Amino acid sequence: MAQQFLYSQFKETDFFQFFNLNAVEREGITGNEKISLKPGGFQDHIDIIINISENLISEARLYLDRIWIGDENSINSFAKDIGKSFLAALIPDALNQEFKISLVQGIWNMRGKKDRVICMDKVIRNWEDFNPQVKQFLDVFRGTKLSASIELVILRIMMENVQEKETGKERLYIKLIWK
């Protein structure tokens, strides 16, 4: 059975190290905390919140500004990188390896209509048509669909386009909840 991450293990991941994540705020009592993280770059556009209970991650959220991500016409490569890396780091390999790989690669390979891409392989060009379960998440990332979710054995993955009440910002929200 796939297990959830210890927060201490998460801090050792390539994702945590590569994006130079730093805790900017902690709420709650030791052992049951909400930790707000910021990456080394693009801090105005990215928020990461990790809820832990007894050092186990119970929920992980990534917020990306919609204006920074782009849309169906053009997708920001940095937004794709942090989005796919977040999911790759936190979805356990043993949970559903095929879905995880398809989602991570789908986000990384996603292109906007106006992005210039020369693709020689029809399989890659038409890949999304053969992966409808993953395509719904890619459409949310592009901003053409409001939300998508999937229930896996011990994990729920949600992706949603939201408007924050406090700031009015339009954001993409990726949330992982361990059951």
For 128-164, the pLDDT digits (tens) are 566 788 999 999 999 999 999 999 888 999 999 999 9
- In the chain, % of residues over pLDDT 70: 89
Question: Is residue 118 situated within a structural domain?
Answer: yes
Mean pLDDT on 87-98: 85
Question: Is residue 39 situated within a structural domain?
Answer: yes
User: How distant is the alpha carbon of residue 10 from its chain centre?
Assistant: 15
Tokens found for residue 20: 């130079």
Question: Is residue 43 situated within a structural domain?
Answer: yes
Question: Is residue 2 situated within a structural domain?
Answer: no
Q: Which domain holds residue 92?
A: 7-178
At 133 the pLDDT is: 86
**Which residues 6+ apart lie within 8 Å of 9 measured at CB?**
none
Q: How many CB atoms lie within 10 A of CB 147?
A: 14
Question: Is residue 54 situated within a structural domain?
Answer: yes
Question: Is residue 46 situated within a structural domain?
Answer: yes
Tell which residue, 45, 83, 55, 73, has the closest CA to residue 170.
Answer: 45
pTM for this entry: 0.90
Domain count, the chain: 1
H/E segment holding residue 136: helix 132-142
Question: Is residue 1 situated within a structural domain?
Answer: no
Question: Is residue 44 situated within a structural domain?
Answer: yes
Q: What is the dihedral of CA 113, 116, 119, 122, to 10 degrees?
A: 10
Mean pLDDT on 96-102: 83
